[in-house]
Amino acid sequence: MDDSKAALVLRHIDRMPSLSPTVAKIMQVANDPTSSANDLNKVISLDPVLAAKVLKLVNSAYFGFSDKVTSTVRAIVVLGLNTIKNLALSTAALETMSMKGQSAMNMDEFWKHVLGVGVTAKLIARRIGVNKNFLEDYFLAGLMHDMGKIVLNRLNPVGYKKVITVCAEKGVDLQLVESRVFGINHAEIGGLLAEKWGLQNSLREAMAFHHYPDQASPENRQLVLAIYISNAFTKVHSVGVSGNTYIQELGEQGWADLGMRPEALQEMAGMLVEGVERASIFLQTAG
């Protein structure tokens, strides 16, 4: 990071709003191993609007429950504290990062891309045997991985449009041009956002290292690898447009660390579009 060139971006991040106190408290309670469903329900109940959004997500086609869940405490019992925490966090983050006005990117296509990464990452998590209580960590990491682009897009839409155009014309990686022009790239910004919002370290690393999974800590490397692969997979299958057409490939060691073969990923292609359609409820709820 070039601190002198990035100073404007860093000031912008510093002035951005934090997540609501309710969401911060939800993360604190959900991350406490001694917390119960009632403990989390008490916190969510302090924000009726957020509680209603969480229930809307729980009863959506994304989860596909046959019986309607009518209370947040029931939702917590059915899905677990971690999943409900992620639903609240994703709703709050998407609300905070919504884009209005001039944009360097087609935002509908951008959101489709991040949903595609989240859906693919969750499919990978299932395939490699991640505990069901942590599947939504993979979806949330995919949903959040490119939030740094929104910061650059908000700050300088004209300049960011030029960066995106140069990358598309020359076939180079977007983050390299971002670093040259702004002194900082969207992944570095994502890591700073995660720190500002007090997000768990696994999510911070997914946002900061999704282009360089080797930089992730051993305990989070599998998650970051899943986001890295899902990012490339959605580009190959033209699910949304992220502003970065450059596709990174994963070597044999990376696949071994992930615990999956490339052939297994191709089997998931048919589930991607349908999964994105189901997951679009997240954007509707945040709006």
Query: Mean pLDDT score of the chain, rounded to an integer?
Result: 91
How would CATH label the architecture of 3-18+100-286? Orthogonal Bundle (1.10)
* Alpha-carbon Rg for the chain in angstroms: 18
Given a contact cutoff of 8 angstroms between Cβ atoms, the answer to whether 87 and 54 are in contact is: yes
What contacts 108, CB < 8 A, 6 or more positions away? none
pLDDT of residue 266: 86
Residue 76 has pLDDT above 70, yes or no: yes
The residue that leads in pLDDT, 122 or 268, is: 122
Mean pLDDT of 115-125: 96
Which residue intervals of 183-220 are DSSP H helices? 186-197, 201-209
Which pLDDT band, with edges at 50, 70 and 90, does 98 fall under? confident
Confidence of residue 189 (pLDDT cuts 50, 70, 90): very high
Tell me which of 80-84, 100-104, 130-134 is least confident.
Answer: 100-104
pLDDT at 102 over 70: no
Q: Which of 80, 82, 105, 114 is nearest to 235 (CA)?
A: 114
C-alpha dist (Å) from residue 167 to 35, 88, 124, 210, 215: 47, 35, 29, 18, 24
Instruction: Decide if 151 contacts 189 (C-beta within 8 A).
Output: yes
pLDDT in tens, 198-244: 999 999 999 999 999 999 999 999 999 999 999 999 999 999 888 88
Domain ranges in the chain? 3-18+100-286
Q: What is the pLDDT of residue 247?
A: 86
* Residue 133 Cα distances to 58, 79, 86, 137, angstroms: 15, 7, 11, 9
Query: Which among 262, 104, 264, 101 is positioned nearest to 178, based on CA atoms?
Result: 104
Q: Diameter of the chain by CA atoms?
A: 56
Q: What is the DSSP string of 109-178?
A: HHHHHHHHHHHHHHHHHHHTT--GGGHHHHHHHHHHTTHHHHHHHHH-HHHHHHHHHHHHHHT--HHHHH
- Non-local (6+) Cβ contacts of 171 within 8 A are 245, 246
Nearest in space to 141 (alpha carbons), one of 78, 217, 225, 20? 225
- Tell me the per-residue pLDDT of 241-281, one tens digit each, with 9 for 90 and over: 888 888 888 889 999 999 999 999 888 888 998 999 999 99
At residue 287 the predicted structure's pLDDT band, cuts being 50, 70 and 90, is: low
Confidence label for 131 from pLDDT (cuts 50, 70 and 90): very high
Structural tokens at position 4: 């002198």
Read off the pLDDT band of 99 (50, 70, 90).
Answer: low
The 10s digit of each residue's pLDDT in 4-58 is: 788 989 998 999 888 889 999 999 999 999 999 999 999 999 999 999 999 999 9
Q: How confident is the model at residue 95 (pLDDT cuts 50, 70, 90)?
A: confident
